[in-house]
Structure 1
Amino acid sequence: MTIAFLINQTHKELSEYTTTLLALTAHRRSHKVLYIGVADFAYHDEKTVGAHCRVLESSERVSDEKDLMRIVRKKDKQFVTSDEIDLLWIRHDPVTDMISRPWASSTALQFAQLMKRQGTWVINDPDQLMQATNKMYLEYFPKEIRPKTLVTRSYEDVLNFLGQQNGKIILKPLTGSGGKNVFMVKKGEKHNLKQTVEVIARDGYLLAQEYLPAAAKGDIRFFLLDGEPIVMDGKYAAISRMQQKGEIRSNIHQGGSAKVARITKKILATIDKVSQKLKDDGMYFVGLDIVGDIIMEINVFSPGALIHAGRVNDTDFIKYVIAHLEKKFAERQKEVKKAYKK
C-alpha cells in the first residue's frame, strides 16, 4: 500500500507521536509512506488532484522513530496524484493552525473530499469530519452517555448554567485540544468568571460542562477501530490518565500520568451506545475520553496516546491497527473488482 499521513507540518511532528509510530510500523510492513502537510495539496484540474509529499520508500532503511523523522524531514517534496495514493490518513490537529493559518484545516479537508471522490480511501471519512470539527459532535450521540453541556459566548448563559449545576462546572474552547484553556469554576468563586469567559470566547465559542466527581480520579482514553474496541490477549487499547496534584487536566503532555485502565461492564455498555454511529460515520480510528461511564469527548482527528496504551499494557496495539488496515484495504479492493466486473 501507499499510505499518506495528513499532518500539520513535518517539522512540527515529533518522534513520540502516535502518527510517527503508525508510519514506522507501516514502513516496516513494506508499505510506502507519504507525509502531507495541510498546505501541500494542489488541484490542477478535475483529473489531477494531489499533494506535494515527502516520500519514504518501502526499501529505505529506518532504525527507529527518531530516524524516521530525521529521514522524512530531509526529503524534497514530490508531487503525487490521488490515484497513486491508496490511503490518505487524516492525522492533523485543526487547532494547531487555528490562529496562524485559519484556512488550512478546512481547505485540507476539502482536498481530502476530492481525493475520496477520485477513489482514494480516506480515514477518517472527510465528509463526516466536516461535521465533527469541534466538540459539538458529541451532541449527536445518546443523551445518557453525555455530560450536561452548554455552548455559548455569553457570560450570562454561563452564569445561569453554573447556578443549575452541583457546585462546579468545566469551561473550555468548543474548538480545542490537548487540554488548552480548560478551567474549573466553582459557585463560590465567581469573581474571575467573566474574565475567564472572555478569554475563551475571544477565539470562538466556549463549551461548559457539568463537573463529574469521578473526574477527580482522572479519565480513560479508550480506542476504537472501525467501531470496535481494540483488544489483544484480553487487553483493551486504553489508558487511565491521572492528573497532577492541583491540576484538572489529565492529558499526558499536560503532565498527566498513564496506567492500565480498568474497563468495566458499564464502560463497555457506554461505548456500545456510540460505536455503531461512529462506524456508520466512517470514523475508523477514534479516541474516547471517558469519566466514570460518561463520554466527555470524542477525538476523531488525531487521537494520541496509543503508544502509552501499548507501553502500560505491554502490547503492540500499533501493529494490530496496521494489520487491521491491511485487511480492510484488501476487502475494499475485492469490492472494487466485483463492481468493475459488473
Structure 2
Amino acid sequence: MTQFNPLTVAVQMDPMDGINIAGDSTFHIMLAGQARGHKLYHYLAPDLTYRDGRVLAKARPVQVQKVQGDHFVLGDWEMLDLGRDVDVVLMRQDPPFDLSYITATHLLERVQAETLVVNDPASVRDAPEKLFVLDYAHFMPPTMITRDLAEVKSFLAEHGEIVVKPLYGNGGVAVFHVGANGANLSSLVELFKEKWVEPFMVQAFIPGVAEGDKRIVLVDGEVMGAVNRIPGKGEIRSNLAVGGSAAKTELTDREREICAALGPELKARGLLFVGIDVIGGEWLTEINVTSPTGIVSIEAFDGTDTGGMIWDAIDVRLAARAAD
C-alpha cells in the first residue's frame, strides 16, 4: 500500500450543507485527501481575517463521507494561521467573481511564501475564465466584449446567430441565444447593462453545441480526462447544474492541440486544477480556474482517480518548495 505524507489542509469553499455530493468536485477532492490521511478544515471566505501581518481563518475540522444529507461532521471552531498551521489551502468557493472574491485572493496571496494555495490566488485573480481565454483567441469562436448595442447588432448581422452571456457569470446562468432576427436583442442588452457594470461577452453561435460542450480537466498542465456535457431538450446550455447530461468522450486532435498550447502556461501560473470548455471538438470557449468541476463524471466514465491525481500534483509542488 502506498504511504502518503499526511497534510493539514484548509478548504475555503461554500457551506457544506448546500453541496450536492453526487457531482461536487471539491467534496470529491476532500474525500480523496481524507483517504490519504490528510486533516481537513472547512471555512468560508468571509471567515478570513488579516491581523498584524498574519492571515487567519476561523475554521472547523471536518470529516466527510459519501452519504448525502449525512456527508460531513464539523468539529469545534479554531482560529488557524494559514501561513503556520496548515500545509495547503484549497481555494474552492464558487463565483461570483466579485470584489469579495478578489479580496480573498489578495489575502491568500500573503500566505503563499509559507503555505501552498491551490489554485495560485494571484493567477486566479489575473485569469478570469472569459478573459484569460482571450490569450488563445485563435482557438475561439468569433468573440466580442462590449456594452455597445450598435456593436452587438453589427456582430449579429455578420454571424447570423449569437450567444450573449455575462463576463463573470458561472454555471450557465444568464446565457442567451439570439437568432438572426434579433428579437428582443435591444431589451437584452439593456438588461445586461442595468444588471452588470462591466461589459458582457458576445460570441458567434456554434450549432455543434447541440452535440455537447466538452469539459476537459487539466492537472498541473496535463490532461487528466474529459466529459461531454449534452444540453437538455430545448436548451443550448450544457452545464450539468442547469439540466445537461454527462456522456463518455474522447479528445479530438484539435482538442489535444488546444491542451498542448495551454498546458505549459497553466503550470507556470500555478493553476493546478483547471477545466476548459470546448464546443464541437474545436472551439475553446472558457478556461475555468476558480472552482472547476467535472472530475466526478470523468471518474465514473473512465475509472480514473482524478482526485488522487490532484493530490499527487500537490505533493510534487510541496516537494519542489521544500527543495528550494
**How high is the TM-score relative to the length of structure 2?**
0.91
Aligned: 1:173 with 2:175? no
Superposed counterparts of 1:330-341, under 5 Å = 330-333=319-322, 335-336=323-324
Q: Secondary structure at the match of 2:168?
A: coil
1:24·1:68 contact (CA, 8 Å) conserved in 2?
no
Provide Cα deviations, 1:70-129, integer angstroms capped at 9, x if missing partner: 303xx332100021111111111221xx6xxx5421221111111114x11111111121
Per-residue deviation, 1:133: 3.2
1:256 aligned to 240, 244, 251, which one?
A: 244
Which residue matches 1:80?
80
Per-residue deviation, 1:277: 1.5
Provide Cα deviations, 1:286-314, integer angstroms capped at 9, x if missing partner: 00001121211100011112101111223
User: For structure 1, which segment, 219-228 or 143-152, has the greater mean C-alpha deviation from structure 2 after superposition?
Assistant: 143-152
Aligned: 1:126 with 2:118? no
Which amino acid is the alignment partner of residue 168 of structure 2?
T
Per-residue deviation, 1:68: 7.1
Which residue matches 1:94?
95
1:226·1:284 contact (CA, 8 Å) conserved in 2?
yes
Superposed counterparts of 1:28-67, under 5 Å = 28-46=35-53, 48-56=54-62, 63-64=65-66, 66=68
2:177·2:236 contact (CA, 8 Å) conserved in 1?
yes
**How high is the TM-score relative to the length of structure 1?**
0.86
1: CA distance between counterparts of 2:129 and 2:246?
A: 25
Aligned: 1:265 with 2:253? yes
Provide Cα deviations, 1:231-263, integer angstroms capped at 9, x if missing partner: xxxxxx110111112100001111111111121
Per-residue deviation, 1:164: 1.6
User: For structure 1, which segment, 249-258 or 148-157, has the greater mean C-alpha deviation from structure 2 after superposition?
Assistant: 148-157
Q: Secondary structure at the match of 2:297?
A: helix
Which residue matches 1:152?
146
2:129·2:289 contact (CA, 8 Å) conserved in 1?
no
Per-residue deviation, 1:320: 2.5
Aligned: 1:112 with 2:108? yes
Which amino acid is the alignment partner of residue 195 of structure 1?
S
2:90·2:118 contact (CA, 8 Å) conserved in 1?
yes
Per-residue deviation, 1:200: 2.6
Runs of at least 4 residues off by over 4 Å: none
1:41·1:51 contact (CA, 8 Å) conserved in 2?
yes
2:9·2:88 contact (CA, 8 Å) conserved in 1?
yes
Q: Structure 2: any 5+ residue segments left out of the alignment?
A: 1-6
65 and 37 in structure 1: CA distance in 2 versus 1, 3 angstrom threshold: farther
Q: Secondary structure at the match of 1:84?
A: coil
Q: Structure 1: any 5+ residue segments left out of the alignment?
A: 231-236, 337-342
67 and 25 in structure 1: CA distance in 2 versus 1, 3 angstrom threshold: farther
Per-residue deviation, 1:15: 2.3
CA RMSD of aligned residues (A): 1.9
Which residue matches 2:263?
275
Which amino acid is the alignment partner of residue 316 of structure 1?
D
Per-residue deviation, 1:65: 5.2
2:108·2:117 contact (CA, 8 Å) conserved in 1?
yes
252 and 213 in structure 1: CA distance in 2 versus 1, 3 angstrom threshold: same
Percent identity at matched positions? 29
Which amino acid is the alignment partner of residue 21 of structure 2?
S
Which residue matches 1:215?
209
2: CA distance between counterparts of 1:20 and 1:137?
A: 26
Provide Cα deviations, 1:29-79, integer angstroms capped at 9, x if missing partner: 100111121101111111x222111213xxx6x54254774303xx33210
Which residue matches 1:233?
none
1:241·1:251 contact (CA, 8 Å) conserved in 2?
yes
2:19 aligned to 4, 13, 22, which one?
A: 13
1:287·1:304 contact (CA, 8 Å) conserved in 2?
yes
Which amino acid is the alignment partner of residue 307 of structure 1?
V
1: CA distance between counterparts of 2:266 and 2:99?
A: 26
1: CA distance between counterparts of 2:277 and 2:129?
A: 14
Which residue matches 1:340?
none
Q: Secondary structure at the match of 1:115?
A: coil
Which amino acid is the alignment partner of residue 242 of structure 2?
Q
